[in-house]
């Protein structure tokens, strides 16, 4: 089998996407704490939900990037 090589630029791009998705999910948690006027302890007690939303955001970003790639490839 052939080895699959991922370029350094691609790795950096994916890390940026992962960090952006994490920041978005964390800020969404902070916004919900402010909107619902709950305790700030939820910033660290709700990590499982932040991780779930993080994964969902990342999966959505991958799906959208694949869709854009396919549309560009089509035209």
Domain ranges of the chain: 12-74
CB-count exposure of residue 15 (10 Å: 0-12, 13-18, 19+): exposed
Distances (CA, A) of 56 to 46, 51, 52, 60, 66: 16, 9, 6, 6, 15
The string of pLDDT tens digits covering residues 2-26 is: 888 889 999 999 999 999 999 999 9
Question: What's the confidence (pLDDT) of residue 54?
Answer: 96
Q: What does the mean pLDDT of the chain come to? A: 94
Provide the pLDDT confidence category of residue 32 given band limits of 50, 70 and 90. Answer: very high
Question: What's the confidence (pLDDT) of residue 4?
Answer: 83
Provide the pLDDT confidence category of residue 38 given band limits of 50, 70 and 90. Answer: very high
Reference 66, options 5, 15, 12, 17; nearest CA is 17
User: How far from the centroid of its chain's Cα atoms is residue 14's Cα?
Assistant: 10
């Amino acid at each position: 089998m052939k080895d699959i090589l991922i370029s350094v630029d691609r790795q950096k791009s994916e890390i940026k996407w992962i960090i952006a998705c994490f920041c978005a999910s964390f800020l969404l948690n902070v916004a919900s704490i402010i909107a619902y006027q709950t305790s700030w302890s939820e910033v660290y007690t709700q990590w499982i939900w932040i991780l779930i939303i993080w994964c969902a955001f990342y999966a959505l970003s991958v799906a959208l990037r694949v869709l854009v790639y396919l549309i560009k490839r089509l035209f």
